[in-house]
Structure 1
């Protein structure tokens, strides 16, 4: 059995909770034939709830939400610029993989489909990455990195498309076509879905560095709660698992969060 809790906590105020007891806490039972795992859409929905809640409780504060560097948090809009698997030459089949959805708009687990990548920009001007459908030569094909870079005045003669597994040797910035494109501002500055939504809600999102040290205060919360949970008698009942987990989390004192 597994039980997952997603919530918001502050070292100043503790677990986020309105005077009437309302919270942004989400619980689920992950796994096959259960609730699954939290998706990016779930996280976006939770942000909408928490943004409204903090504005109600702390209307005079600026609100920043800190997330770790998880793929689920960093997901970008479908079709966002990406150099991964970008071909050197023209291609009729290149696109970015997105989750396939059913007729009701729900994601079909494990199934993907392709869509055209969004246009880039160069010197402040739009730069289409695909030939127009009525172009006599390209006819809707992806232009390929070689042509895209040539349109920017970048010489690529003799340059390989990609360093092995895109593991370029630092501090190289022009060792391969993918690395050059990767360092372009329009490829670098693609915002995540969380950042876009947060801005529309009047709050801000900060992502912790990748592989960040675990010595942040949230670990104090989990550690204290796990210690309390393990004091309970073992049980195979789901309702007991849920009850003991939530009670252990609620019992974490503010002073322990701040240590």
Structure 2
């Protein structure tokens, strides 16, 4: 269907621009219209216009005059078009169409869409482009209603590789893919495919066209609501640690206490003839009170000031979550505690941590200068290791503790970073103690014990020679550290692991950037939500709510 526009005073005149409307473009210059059937065409006849449209009529007459016919086709008066919004927003025009022909304006619009013609909104858009903007924009490729051979119709193999590149780029964990990147890729592939020499800075396909291509291929540009991604998540050493940890639990899952799947959650008890393991998860979290005053004096609403968000006190909590049906939190009974204190009286001593009664769980008020550093962590775990043998429910069980891979947990007694390169430089320890490849214990002094250099540190260069490492001449410090880090003497375990080995407890560190693999994160989420919903921002109330949140966690999750 083709729509032609006629003027009452010059219906017989022909304009060179009418050639543009052989394609389905509809220009509405309407106040009140009626439809007439003329062969296979629908003719829109303009009625007598209102006084408000006098300027538009004058422009039309001027345009169709002999004088203007001699002018270039690029000369147009933007007043010829009456914005479609004037028609859409006029309820009288809608009623006229419905009352006169029994069809609503929206039904006509839907009909045009169904038969593949332009909708009224698109018609108004491209009509405005035609009259107010450049003709090249109106004639550009992929305009609605145009069916010229497209770029990818000429180069279909280029579309295949471009689409594959775009789909792979959309799967990136970092939201770095853009239309500009796709345009650059298509540009490079085009010149590689055709063999042409690039002599211009312009892209063979614009960013806007690439955006339309992405939509056509099924991609969409929407809000980035995915979970956070850490750059080191797929680092080779991290992937190896993650695979090792997950594989270990999958192979030994029947040896652990764990909650089964399904609607009726039940504990899966390990078989009696199997090695029974108890998994204990550990981590720290911080709670903060705003310390805002519930009420205050105001002179008027205009004098209301902001409250100080930095005001308040923080409490750092370090806890253990136990995968055992007895209790998700480790705590001794009174009789068990009495037996433990009898053997280890130091359990009653103050170590700077506010421990829960008969438990290793504790907290430190950060504002008072305390913090759960490596020394505090070692002290807390040592307390736990001493108490574990007295827990009757854990008798004849092996203990396996999962710890977050933070520096406060995984700190070692020494590393290559604690040594200088030359003699007399920094040195943290007196001796290197390690087991060689044949499992024999070896010891090397880190300080000179004879001659004039007695008491001075040897440095990494001399230690490397004593360890039998082939050091190239003029080696740099970073290269030397890399060589030494591969030797057994510097593959030492963490302080926490050394203490755990003393008490026969296994320690595993969760992979870096994988806090979701530590189940205790669910405990922190539950406790903080509980506190947040009930707090009045005072520190005493927060302390009470933290205790209540532990009880609520047991009731909600384990009962």
Partner of 1:17: 331
Structure 2 counterparts to residues 17-36 of structure 1, below 5 A? 17-20=331-334, 22-31=358-367, 34=368, 36=370
Please show how residues 89-108 of structure 1 align to structure 2 within 5 Å.
89-90=422-423, 92-96=424-428
Greater CA drift, 140-149 or 240-249: 140-149
Q: TM-score, normalised by structure 1?
A: 0.72
Task: Name which of 442, 445, 461 aligns with 1:146.
Answer: 461
8 Å CA contact retained: 2:403, 2:508: yes
Unaligned ranges ≥5, structure 1: 97-115, 163-175
Structure 2: how far apart are the matches of 1:192 and 1:48?
14
* Secondary structure of residue in 2 paired with 1:246: helix
Give the superposition deviation at 1:235. Answer: 2.9
User: 510, 518, 521: which one pairs with 1:216?
Assistant: 518
Q: Which has the higher helix share?
A: 2
Q: Which residue, 238, 245, 251 being the options, matches 2:552?
A: 251
Task: Confirm or deny that 1:135 pairs with 2:454.
Answer: no
CA distance in 1, matches of 2:509, 2:410: 8
Structure 1 partner of 2:405: 69
Aligned to 1:6: 318
Query: Take 2:445 and 2:458, find their aligned partners in 1: how far apart are those partners?
Result: 9
Task: For 2:546 and 2:425, locate their aligned partners in 1 and report how far apart those are by CA, in whole Å.
Answer: 49
| Pairing 1:47–2:409 present | no
**For 2:435 and 2:324, how far apart are their aligned partners in 1?**
44
Contact map agreement 1:86 1:178 (CA 8 A) in 2:
no
**Corresponding pairs, count:** 215
Q: What's the offset of the Cα at 1:83?
A: 1.1
CA RMSD between the two structures: 2.6
How far, CA to CA, are the matches of 1:223 and 1:127 in structure 2? 48
- Give 1:63-212 correspondences, 5 Å limit: 63-77=399-413, 80=414, 82-84=415-417, 86-90=419-423, 92-96=424-428, 116-119=429-432, 125-132=442-449, 134-136=450-452, 138-151=453-466, 152=468, 154-162=470-478, 176-188=479-491, 190-212=492-514
> Separation in 1 of the partners of 2:454 and 2:446?
12
- 1:142–1:121 distance in 2 versus 1, CA, 3 Å: farther
Find the structure with the greater CA-based Rg.
Answer: 2
CA shift digits 1:1-38 (9 cap, x unpaired): 1122222112334112334473222122112xx15112
CA contact (8 A) 2:447 2:458 kept: yes
Cα distance change of structure 1 residues 30 and 121 upon mapping to structure 2, 3 Å threshold:
closer
CA shift at 1:227, angstroms? Answer: 1.6
Structure with larger RCO (C-alpha < 8 A, sep 6+): 1
Moved more, 241-250 or 17-26: 17-26
Maintained 8 Å contact 2:418/2:427: no
Cα distance in 1 for partners of 2:435, 2:528 equals: 52
In the aligned structure 2, how far is the partner of 1:244 from the partner of 1:122?
Answer: 49
Runs of 5+ unmatched residues, structure 2: 1-312, 335-356
Distance, in Å, in 1 between the alignment partners of 2:447 and 2:359 is 46
Stretch deviating more after TM superposition (195-204 or 11-20): 11-20
Secondary structure of 2:401 counterpart: strand
2:535, 2:545 within 8 Å by CA — same for their partners in 1?
A: no
Instruction: List per-residue Cα deviations over 1:217-237 (Å, max 9, x = no partner).
Output: 11111111112112214232x
Distance 2:536 2:388 in 1: 37
CA distance in 2, matches of 1:45, 1:122: 27
